[in-house]
């Protein structure tokens, strides 16, 4: 939604560490009841693709994005890399050996290089936001009532996790790995000086029984279980949240949470200073141990109705800057639910423990839960006061907070976001023409980009590897030779419409083929990463194929994309993964498509509004071509 694809892969190549991408290639799944451990051990392990196959497919992937002379040079390097007895064969054997000795040859490497070693701020650069439809309240009481119901819904979902009764998901007849569902609650990222770590308190001897609530930049510990172990009812939670919101607002409250928006190296240093104090250390630990965080936000800037979803996306992604709600967060927390006073609500999640689908499944459950009538009687028992978490802010920490405010404001000012509800059609149109909706949308994005820049770009779409034990993601490379032929012909008046339609169908089929290859563990990007990682582990020189400029171009994803399907009419969003790129996330519903486009204002090449409009035009033009052009009989 956002696993580390692009930014990570760029770091592993020649460029700077690129940011983790987000979600994963969605799949049609069916759910069957079953215990977690009963199927986990029976899942297959992630395969290591054949070296020659990956090399051949790598060259194919480069064709639409580099020049002919560059491709010729790269082919020579690839041939040398895979020659009999060469370094490629040695690394391939090593990777195959690793695969026999581990549950998943990739997963530990992946979390480390894609997330924990990634040093740019997690906000915007790594953690996705999720925007729910605006709720029908616009005051403090409505905000608290909805937040109470939301908390109860999450605890209801948690019961299935705790009891290991969460329905196992299947792709066709193949069970999918459910591990990520058991990583998102009671977990938190811990900053380090050079690399971070993840802690999951759900696996501790005494799992936490509280959540964190953030209100007016103040943090509160709220116990959410009664003494008999039953979760608090919605009414009980409402009363407890009222108590929190009745806490006097202090003029000198420092927004300690904004420290989590810092560059990870800076935050690592500040963190060590912060927890030197015993009170601070205890407060931080309570936040880290909490099941999840609920952020009760204050106001946000007033915008037109047309821009309200885009503003909500920015609220979920970064909070709007220090003058609004960016300090009303703890961005290291895996799961933060955000409820605004004006009815805006959604979530933000730290990406290291999981991809988007577990988050979306939880969100779908919670939204459905909030629509149900409460049937549980509220026990007449006194509840302890929520505990305010105190922080002692030294002059040094105060200086760090001021610096964090400034850098967060620069980042918030730089990010442009457009959320579009494309109402003309949804999955229904491509399905009517027997096309994959995801492939159709991806080809529209290729056309939209080509129309703006008259060239093709390396494109990232995440693919789920959950068919395998502890599987995360691989890359679907949406820019292909077939997509390039299609977009170049589309606006060419010398090309007949029947040929354009044929080219569209070939491009869609090529994308579907690559998708199937990726979800079965046969894509190229994670394999190449594994070979490079193994060379580093064995202290071998970096093979020339990885220092080749073509490899850097292959990993410079100007289009970083993810489909995040949901029952709920929502959309996820994330920032671009390169300075001159776009983030593009979409949720195709049956009769409309929600999509979010992001770009950096500091880049003169890119413009989120222009790309959003180009995408809308491309979708409409592709439908028109299909409706007005009979299918070729060839």
Q: Write out the catalytic residue numbers.
A: 351
**Residue 598: left if φ>0, alpha if ψ -120 to 50, beta else—which one?**
beta
Is the CA virtual torsion 315, 320, 325, 326 positive or negative?
A: positive
Q: How far apart are CA 339 and CA 337, in angstroms?
A: 7
Q: How far apart are CA 189 and CA 87, in angstroms?
A: 36
Residue 610's contacts (CB-CB under 8 Å, 6 or more residues apart) are: 452
* SS3 call for 573: strand
Q: How far apart are CA 593 and CA 104, in angstroms?
A: 35
Closest CA to 21 of 528, 588, 459: 459
Q: In what order do the strands lie in the sheet with 30-32?
A: 30-32, 168-171, 174-175
Q: How far apart are CA 627 and CA 467, in angstroms?
A: 37
Q: How far apart are CA 11 and CA 15, in angstroms?
A: 5
Strands (E), 299-351: 335-340, 345-349
Rg (CA), the chain: 24
Q: How far apart are CA 425 and CA 348, in angstroms?
A: 28
Question: Tokens in use for 316?
Answer: 């979920």
Angle, alpha carbons 551-560-105 (nearest 5°):
60
Pairing of strands 335-340, 345-349: antiparallel
Query: Is residue 347 within 8 Å of 336, Cβ to Cβ?
Result: yes
Question: Tokens in use for 104?
Answer: 């998943």
> What residue has token string 């799992």?
207
Q: How far apart are CA 464 and CA 470, in angstroms?
A: 11
Angle, alpha carbons 420-478-307 (nearest 5°):
10
Task: Give the number of residues written for the chain.
Answer: 634
Q: How far apart are CA 302 and CA 138, in angstroms?
A: 13
HEC string for 343-395: CCEEEEECCCCCCHHHHHHHHHHHHHHHCCCCCCCCCCCCCCCCEEECCCCCH
Alpha-carbon distance values, 89 to 44, 81, 105, 603 (Å): 24, 8, 17, 42
Q: How many CA atoms lie within 13 A of 33 on its CB side?
A: 3
* SS3 call for 406: helix
Closest CA to 7 of 602, 554, 545, 557: 557
């Amino acid at each position: 939604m956002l696993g580390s694809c692009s930014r990570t892969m760029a770091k592993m190549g020649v460029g700077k560490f690129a940011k983790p991408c987000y979600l994963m290639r969605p799949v049609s799944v069916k759910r069957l009841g079953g215990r977690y451990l009963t199927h986990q051990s029976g899942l297959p392990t992630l395969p290591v693709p054949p070296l020659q196959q990956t090399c051949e497919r790598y060259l194919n992937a480069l064709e639409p994005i580099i020049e002919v002379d560059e491709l010729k040079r790269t082919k020579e390097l690839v041939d040398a890399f895979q020659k009999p007895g060469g370094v490629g064969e040695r690394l391939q054997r090593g990777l195959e050996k690793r695969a026999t000795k581990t549950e998943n040859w990739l997963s530990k490497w992946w979390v480390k290089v894609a997330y924990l070693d990634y040093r740019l701020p997690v906000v915007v650069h790594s953690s996705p936001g999720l925007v729910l439809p605006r709720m029908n309240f616009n005051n403090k009481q409505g905000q608290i009532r909805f937040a109470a119901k939301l908390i109860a819904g999450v605890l209801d979902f948690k019961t299935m996790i705790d009891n290991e009764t969460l329905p196992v998901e299947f792709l066709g007849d193949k069970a999918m790995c459910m591990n990520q569902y058991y990583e998102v609650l009671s977990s938190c990222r811990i900053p380090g000086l050079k690399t971070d770590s993840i802690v999951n308190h759900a696996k501790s001897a005494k799992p936490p029984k509280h959540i964190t609530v953030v209100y007016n930049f103040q943090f509160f510990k709220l116990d959410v279980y009664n003494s008999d172990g039953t979760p608090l009812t919605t009414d009980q939670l409402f009363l407890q949240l009222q108590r929190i919101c009745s806490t006097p607002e202090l003029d000198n409250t420092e927004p300690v949470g904004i420290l989590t928006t810092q560059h990870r190296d800076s935050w690592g240093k500040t963190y060590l200073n912060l927890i030197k104090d015993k009170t601070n250390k205890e407060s931080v630990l309570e936040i880290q141990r909490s099941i999840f965080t609920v952020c009760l936000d204050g106001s946000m800037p007033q915008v037109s109705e047309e821009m309200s979803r885009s503003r909500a996306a920015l609220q979920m992604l970064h909070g709007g800057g220090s003058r609004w709600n960016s300090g009303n967060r703890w961005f290291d927390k895996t799961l933060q639910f955000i409820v605004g006073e004006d009815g805006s609500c959604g979530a933000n999640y730290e990406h290291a423990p999981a991809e988007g689908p577990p988050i979306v499944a939880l969100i779908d459950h919670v939204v459905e839960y909030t629509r149900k009538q409460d049937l549980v009687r509220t026990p007449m028992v006194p509840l302890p006061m929520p505990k305010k978490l105190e922080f002692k802010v030294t002059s040094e920490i105060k200086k760090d907070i001021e610096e964090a405010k400034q850098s967060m404001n620069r980042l918030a000012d730089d990010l442009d976001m457009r959320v579009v509800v494309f109402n003309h059609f949804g999955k229904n149109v491509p399905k009517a023409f027997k096309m994959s909706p995801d492939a159709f949308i991806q080809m529209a994005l290729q056309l939209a980009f080509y129309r703006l820049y008259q060239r093709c770009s390396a494109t990232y779409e995440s693919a789920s590897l959950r068919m395998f034990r502890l599987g995360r993601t691989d890359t679907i490379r949406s820019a292909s030779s077939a997509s390039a032929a299609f977009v170049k012909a589309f606006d060419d008046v010398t090309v007949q419409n029947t040929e354009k339609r044929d080219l569209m169908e070939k491009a869609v089929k090529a994308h579907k083929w690559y998708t199937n290859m990726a979800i079965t563990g046969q894509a190229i990007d994670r394999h190449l990463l594994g070979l490079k990682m193994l060379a580093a582990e064995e202290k071998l020189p970096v093979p020339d194929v990885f220092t080749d400029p073509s490899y850097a171009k292959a990993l410079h994803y100007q289009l970083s994309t993810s489909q995040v399907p949901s029952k709920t009419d929502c959309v996820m969003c994330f920032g671009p993964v390169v300075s001159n790129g776009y983030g593009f996330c979409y949720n195709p519903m049956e009769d409309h498509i929600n999509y979010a486009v992001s770009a950096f204002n500091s880049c003169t090449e890119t413009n989120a509004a222009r790309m959003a409009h180009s995408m809308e035009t491309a979708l409409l033009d592709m439908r028109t071509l299909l409706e007005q052009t009979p299918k070729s009989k060839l």
